[in-house]
Amino acid sequence: MNERGCGPQLKDNIPVTELSASGPLENHDLLRKGFSCVKNEFLPSHPLELSEKNFQLNQDKMNFSTLRNSHGLFPPLKLQMEFKAIQQVQRLPFLSSSNLSLDILRHNDETIRFEDINNPSQSELMGEPHLIVEYKLGLL
């Protein structure tokens, strides 16, 4: 014992917080989160990658601005309300949705894009419906 009344402290103690499930040793759940890509964490992204990720948002902002300048405040507000209403209507989590009504509002229903041809939601693999719904609701 030292003069403060504490016993000798070991230098090679491992704190319990480092071994918890939320720490660096956490098991990655492949079924729910998919494969982790270490490459994206270390390499800088291409300068156009951010622009491409936000393309639809930037396109919507530009369309709303043009609509507001040409027709006033009401049409873009009405269109934004319709976008929000359509985005709230969804299928069950284990069923994929084509979002046709959102494409119609954005006038993308007559165009063929890369996502239309190479859609990962149309793959032949399907998860367990009950587990997917419980995960989306936060029960697991």
User: Contact, 130 vs 93, CB < 8 A?
Assistant: no
Sorted by sequence, the CB contacts under 8 Å of residue 74 that are 6+ apart come out as: none
pTM: 0.52
- Report residue 77 CA to chain centroid gap: 25
Cα distance between residue 56 and residue 106, in whole Å: 10
Backbone angles phi, psi at 9, to 5 degrees: -95, 135
pLDDT at 26: 58
Neighbours of 102 (CB within 10 A): 17
pLDDT at 82: 93
Amino acid at 140: L
Query: Where are the domains positioned within the chain?
Result: 48-89, 91-118+127-140
pLDDT at 18: 45
Cα distance between residue 71 and residue 52, in whole Å: 29
What's the per-residue H, E or C state across 60-92? HHHHHHHHHHHHCCHHHHHHHHHHHHHHHCCCC
pLDDT at 70: 95
Cα distance between residue 140 and residue 130, in whole Å: 11
pLDDT at 94: 72
- Interhelix angle 55-71/74-88, nearest 10 degrees: 140
Predicted confidence pLDDT, tens digits, the chain (140 residues):
455 555 455 455 555 444 445 555 556 676 777 677 666 666 667 778 878 888 889 998 999 999 999 999 999 999 999 999 998 887 777 777 778 888 888 888 888 877 777 666 566 656 788 888 888 888 87
